[in-house]
Amino acid sequence: MNKIYLLLLSLLPYTMVGQYTDIINSNLPGNSQSAYAVGPRVLQMEGGLWYEHNRHKVTQTEMHYAGINYAVRYGFFRERLEAMLNGTLAYDKTLAHNTTTTHFGFVNNTIGAKYLLFKPKFLDEEPNIYSWKANNSFCWRNLTPSIALYAGMNFLPNERYYYESVPTLSPKVVAIFQAEPIPRVVTVLNLIGDRFLTKESTEYSYILTVTHNLDNGWFSIFAEQQGVYSDRYRDQITRLGVAFIASANLQLNADLGIGWNDTPQRYMGLIGASYRIDNHNSYIKKVLNDKVKTTKIKHKKKPKKRKKNDFD
């Protein structure tokens, strides 16, 4: 039976196991989304404690924020699909003209799903065991990105944290492009349309993230550039950070960021972690069991031996 499992596993389309990884693959550090799902029957939790200091040049106000970012991701149905809930809980303290105000509550929550639309076939090719150069040199085809689409719904936004009145429910869509131009370097580009029910609340943004996995395999460093564009607010935000793989199912990360606008000027930092509950093997086993049940192995009947008689 084990041999049949191995044989069927080798015959299954690679996309069945192409998105799942043996080591946790988190969207952290940074604010961009990966093109890939976590894998069927994998529950992954990502979050972090963050602090941000804002100083507004025009209004002469100073703002201190602290809070929690959280995300829950679950893969189901197919390797390419995942559902996601993410949001922010914040405490803020604002100093303006000798007056201090504080507030605690949710900033926003979003629920949605992501689906991998396209993955280049060459990513499934086995490494060339005879050539280090073939595996590590630059190749133009490596710039071909995997493409995914995320669609979600924002709910229960807190208008205190926005420059305009925002709808109670509003859509969010993200086009995601991910490529590995050279070994150990991954680039991710997110193009985002957010709260576009009304012109006043519509916000467009991009996030470009470059991650480099160091030679030891356990540490990664990243740089990220984010641009935000709306009628009331525009900014460019730069982040730098590091991630550490503590175990196959646990990642730790930290990052620092700065906003280049002065209305307000923003400084921020985050310490986070990602953890997954991995039941992916049970999904693969179920698929293989279904394959075994539907596969019929026909055996050729041996020809009957002719009985000898007295005349032979």
Q: Which residues are CB-neighbours of 171 under 8 A, at least 6 positions away?
A: 151, 152, 153, 154, 193, 195, 196, 197
Question: Which pLDDT value is given to residue 179?
Answer: 96
Predicted TM-score (pTM) above 0.85: no
Question: Which pLDDT value is given to residue 18?
Answer: 47
Pair of tokens at residue 265: 């000027």
- In a 3-state reduction of DSSP, which class is residue 135? helix
Tokens 């179920």, residue located: 286
Bridge partners (DSSP) listed for residue 210: 187, 223
Question: Which pLDDT value is given to residue 7?
Answer: 34
Q: Which residues are CB-neighbours of 282 under 8 A, at least 6 positions away?
A: 41
Q: Which residues are CB-neighbours of 259 under 8 A, at least 6 positions away?
A: 235, 236, 237, 265, 266, 267, 268
Per-block mean pLDDT, blocks of 10 residues, the chain (312 long):
36 48 92 95 97 91 95 92 96 90 91 96 67 66 94 85 76 97 94 91 96 91 97 93 97 98 93 94 58 54 57 50
Q: Which residues are CB-neighbours of 20 under 8 A, at least 6 positions away?
A: 38, 39, 40, 42, 75, 79, 280
CATH topology for 2-294 is: Porin (2.40.160)
Bridge partners (DSSP) listed for residue 237: 226, 259
